[in-house]
Each structure stands twice: as structure tokens, then as C-alpha cells.
Chains A and B, each alone.
Chain A
Amino acid sequence: AQSVTQPDIHITVSEGASLELRCNYSYGATPYLFWYVQSPGQGLQLLLKYFSGDTLVQGIKGFEAEFKRSQSSFNLRKPSVHWSDAAEYFCAVGGLSGSARQLTFGSGTQLTVLP
């Protein structure tokens, strides 16, 4: 079965600083990788996804993520954080067969942005 690890429970950055949120996955076949964001009291919204091709994917709100197969990682980055980016971020992995047809989520990283 697949799994996702987000090692950082909580990250605090200053507005304007760069951001990297870590995500490691375990899956035996080609993974489909996602980053979702959850603002307080809201549902989850897709930031970006990786299916195949270019390993650097661009998403909404200026976010990008890089798929590194050798490291089983899919880290999320943003060059300059805005106060509105404060939220919880979830990495998820899915696939085309077996239990991977159901998405598996990491435990989330809570981002705090200081003024």
C-alpha cells in the first residue's frame, strides 16, 4: 500500500521569505502526486498535480513542486510567501491500480506567516 510522509508538522516563515514544504511518498509504481491547501474552516483546494513528463510542475498562487523519483519526494516551493498563504498543506499520492486508486494523504503541514 502507498503512504505519504510530511515530516514538518508546523512551519513558520516571514512574509516575503521563501518556502519549501517536504513530502516523501512510498509507492511501487508510477505515482500520481498532488498538493492540496486547506484554509481555516474550508475544504481542500488543489494547488498542483504531477502525472508524468516535466518533473517541475507549476500550480496556482505561485506555487511549484518538483518530483524526484530517486528521492521519492515531491516538495512544494514558493519563492516569496504572502500572508494569505497561511493554511494547512497536504501532500497526496494516488495511482491507477489496487488500493492506489484511492488517494492517500499525508498528515499535513501547518504554515504560519509572520508579518
Chain B
Amino acid sequence: NAGVTQTPKFQVLKTGQSMTLQCAQDMNHEYMSWYRQDPGMGLRLIHYSVGAGITDQGEVPNGYNVSRSTTEDFPLRLLSAAPSQTSVYFCATRQGGSSGANVLTFGAGSRLTVL
């Protein structure tokens, strides 16, 4: 049982390049989300999805794009990377699409550096 799998673990981009961070889960969780972690700022929500075909913005959505075509996958796209997007990105899932009471399961993270 893999849980939440994020790829790649590390990535270096140049300003203006595009890339996709992948998140896959095998727990049949309805809810999937992307957070970014920056020193002194904790985790901030970028985008989330409560089910296939449904996505919504979090606290810091600018510069990121998401889609949810299947229950298992929730990719995060950077269309034109900027140095301000240098961060560690976490995918997190939970049972129950709309309850903030349920526990999040996190992936191991993807460290992105934009030069």
C-alpha cells in the first residue's frame, strides 16, 4: 500500500520553464490538496479537490494550475516558473470530500528550485 506518492522528489527549473508535479494516491480518498512549505510560514494551501472533476483555489493559487480527471491523480502545473515558487510542495489527501475534521495523509514532498 503506497499511500500518497509524489514525483519528482527534486527538481531544478529556470525562470519561465513549465513543469508538472505529480501526486497519486491508492487509498480511494475523495479529497486531494497541494500545499507549499516555506521557512517560517508553515504550510499554505495552493489548490484542492473534493472529487474527480472538482477543483478549487486555496490561499496561494497564483501561478499554479490543477485538474482532477481521476480519483487517484492530482497533478500541479507550473506554467511559467518564477523564483518565488522555490519551495517544498506537499500533496495531502483525506477521506470525505468536505470535512475539515478528517485527518490528512501526506506525501513525502517535492523540493523545487527555480533559478
Q: When A and B form their complex, what is the total count of cross-chain residue pairs whose Cβ atoms lie within 8 Å?
A: 59
Nearest Cβ in chain B — how far from A74, in angstroms?
14
- B33 contacts the other chain (CB 8 A): yes
The answer to whether A102 and B43 touch (CB under 8 A), given A49-B103, A96-B99, A96-B100, is no
Instruction: Identify which of residues 74-91 in chain B touch chain A, using a CB-to-CB cut-off of 8 Å.
Output: 90
B51 at the interface (CB under 8 A from A): no
Query: Which chain A residues in 97-114 approach chain B with CB under 8 Å?
Result: 100-108
* Of A43, A45, A46, A108, most B-chain CB atoms within 10 Å: A43
Query: Which A residues contact B (CB, under 8 angstroms)?
Result: 4, 6, 9, 32, 34, 36, 41-46, 49, 51, 90, 94-96, 100-108
Residues of B within 8 A of A (CB): 4, 33, 35, 40-45, 48, 58, 90, 92, 98-101, 103-104, 106-109
